[in-house]
Structure 1
Amino acid sequence: MYRFPILFLIISACTALLFTSCAVQTVKGYDAVPTAIQQYHATYFSDPETDYVYKAHISVYGKDFGGIFIVKKINDTTHRIAFTTEFGNKLFDFEITDDSFKVNFILEEFDRKIVVNTLKKDFMLLLKMNHEVMAQYENSKTTVYKSKDEKRYNYLFTDKATGSLKKLVNATKSKEKTVITYTPESEKLADSIIIDHKNIKLRIALEYINN
């Protein structure tokens, strides 16, 4: 007599549990608030007069590479990235805009489709200047801006006191995919940057070299 209502309750409970377990946890513990801005402007790598030079360590599918990582803003829309050994041998050289990616050179060890596509996404994300804000969250110390990024979302964690970007999380509706963590030197310069992936074996660590 009560079989179908009980079965319905079990199915409903399981469905709720499934969606709860799949929900992205990126802004858990933060309060949703009205959006204060329409667009967030990331200011790292924004000065065309500066050569951003970092000591770099890249781990990719069990192989480790160390060297010098250089970012240069060429014009209003384009950045150039080069990664070399400490002796000056080039490992890769890319030109990047918000919607284009050009390979000028890449070492054979990096020249695998999955690696190139991942580096493309990482560096386009790292150098993206403008993020259209669709939602905002906060706690006492941090403001988080949510932005649409094709089929994914970017969550930008900023320090309330300084305005500096501390973290960027690229996620689907249910899972975090890539996390970029910044240690700000100032609003316009990150002293260190770590790009970490949740689902593949690729990690990039950068430490700023003060010239």
Structure 2
Amino acid sequence: MAGLKVYFDLMSQPCRAVMLFLKVNNISFSEKPIDLRHGEHLTEEFGKINPMHLVPVIDNNGFILTESDAILKYLTAYYSVASHWYPEDLQNRARVDEFCAWSHANLSLSASGFFEQQVVEPHAKNIPVNQEQLRKFSAELDGSLKQLESIFLKDRKYLAGDDITIADVMAVCELMAPYASGYDIFEGHPKIQTWVELVKQRLNPHFDDVHVRGPLGMVFAKFNPSANI
């Protein structure tokens, strides 16, 4: 079938970012769910779509693209969405790229690492939580949150300026995973809490669809039932 196809699992932070962007911008697409917990990404069939066996993946009329960062930037251009998502102004666009480059080795790594240790590994392997590794990623996440607040949100309403961009979408999805699994991302970080509320308002009702009512909602219910989401 022609048109945009999206291969995803909403337990994945990058997948949620792509899904949110598409829904908020009313972009039509066909959903192709890939169940990571049951290894559907490791099948030979899916390997023909993405040899790296990762999600998200888009297939836009035969053009296959992986990596959420690249996907979101491609979508902003292909669908000519509002320019604030990935600004045309060179310096403003560079701020988005700056955050994305920083996040790969900092926020994304520490947030996903905490989630893996707290939720994914124990469930997949039926083993206790590795507390030493959990403390390691918790400390790294704390460092990332401090930089997020003191640098990117120091004098900005959003991560790259005065309006929401794809950087905000990616970042909020990264933070919801450790938050769901019991890490209080707001403790001692009032600017982050204010920013998250702003981003949620801009993304709802779709934010709730992929976080509260999506599979991550089960994680919230188990690890952080009193969370403000």
The structure carrying a bigger helix percent of its residues is 2
Do both proteins adopt the same fold according to a TM-score greater than 0.5, normalized to the shorter chain? no
The structure carrying a bigger strand percent of its residues is 1
Q: TM-score, normalised by structure 1?
A: 0.28
Q: TM-score, normalised by structure 2?
A: 0.27
